[in-house]
Amino acid sequence: MAITVEDIKKLKELTGVGLTDAKSALVEAGGDFDKALEEMRKKGLTRAEKKGDREAREGVIDSYIHDDRIGVVLELNCETDFVARLDDFRTLAHQLSMQVAAMSPLYVSEDDIPADEKERKKQEFMASEDLAKKPEEIREKIVEGQVSKYFAEKVLMSQNYILDDSKTIEQHVKEAIAKLGENIRVGQFRRIELGVSE
């Protein structure tokens, strides 16, 4: 397949790499754009995971109001004030605020779930009559899966992204890390719904 300038530019825009890297990826993929994009995403996400350990103290506070009934305030952190001012970063913060408004997560990540809350839910599932007749080790596995699924819906980073359900919020944030070249993390959020108290 022939490699076009348009494909190089498009790959550069989608992955946030330089023109030379974009061209090299297309050459390696034999001109197959989709294959080159997939390889670049893999490399970018690998770089993003390495950046995940770096400290993120800058950022923005984003707010989103939906139909005057739901309000969200969200803190999104990055490493430098330069990145915090970029449109891509601010757009990401707003997308995450919309996600919180729509999906009402309770926690940012699984690490934020209190151990006693996990244990309480585990005991609740264990008490199910459907599981009573099953062997102990099978019950453990089933309950582990149920607990995992239950909390996945309550954890922002584990939720499917509302604007593209082919990926999770965690994957969406990692793509932004790969593109912007800095560690990015959600610091905290608050969601308020009219007439609903916590």
In the prediction, which pLDDT does 34 show? 79
Q: Is 165 inside any structural domain?
A: yes
Smallest CA-to-CA distance from 100 within 72, 79, 80 is with: 72
Give yes or no: residues 162 and 77 share one domain: yes
Residues 69 and 140 in one domain: no
Range of the domain at 10: 5-51
Average pLDDT, the chain: 85
Q: Please give the structure tokens belonging to residue 40.
A: 């670049």
**More confidently predicted of 48 and 16:** 16
Identify whether 16 is part of a domain.
yes
Same domain for 135 and 160, yes or no, is: no
Kind plus residue range of the DSSP H or E element containing 179: helix 169-180
Based on the fold, state whether residues 132 and 172 are members of the same structural domain: no
Number of domains in the chain: 3
For residue 106, the 8-state DSSP code is: S
Sole residue written with tokens 């109001």: 65
Eight-class DSSP state of 126 = H
The reply to whether 12 and 96 lie within a common domain is no
CA separation for the pair 69, 71 (Å, rounded): 7
Q: Are residues 77 and 165 in the same domain?
A: yes
Cα separation, 30 vs 24, in Å, equals 10
The answer to the question of residue 198 being in a domain is no
Distance CA 96, CA 102 (A): 10
For residues 69 and 103, membership in a common domain is answered with: yes
- Indicate if 41 and 121 belong to the same structural domain: no
What pTM was estimated for this model as a whole? 0.68
Q: Answer yes or no: is 29 within a domain.
A: yes
Residues 154, 106 contacting (CB under 8 angstroms): yes
pLDDT reported for residue 62: 97
Question: What span, in angstroms and rounded, lies between the C-alpha atoms of 105 and 99?
Answer: 9
What's the DSSP call for residue 158?
G
CATH of the domain at 96: 3.30.479.20
pLDDT beyond 60 at 51:
no
- Residue 67 and residue 99 in one domain: yes
Percent of the chain with pLDDT over 90: 42
Residue 188 is predicted with a pLDDT of: 95
Cross-sheet strand order for the sheet of 185-193 = 58-66, 70-78, 185-193
Residue 104 and residue 159 in one domain: yes
Using the predicted structure, report yes or no on whether residue 3 has a pLDDT greater than 90: no
Output the domain CATH number for residue 19: 1.10.8.10
Is the same domain home to 104 and 160?
Answer: yes
- Quick check: helix, strand or coil at residue 16? coil
**Would you state the structure tokens that stand for residue 183, as one six-digit string?**
């560690």
Out of 53-57, 114-118, 160-164, give the one with best mean pLDDT. 160-164
CA pair distance 149, 36, nearest whole angstrom: 33
143: in domain: yes
For 9-52, give the DSSP string: HHHHHHH---HHHHHHHHHHTTT-HHHHHHHHHHHHHHHHHHHT
**Residue 4 Ramachandran class (φ > 0 left, ψ -120 to 50 alpha, else beta):** beta
Residues 148 and 163 in one domain: no
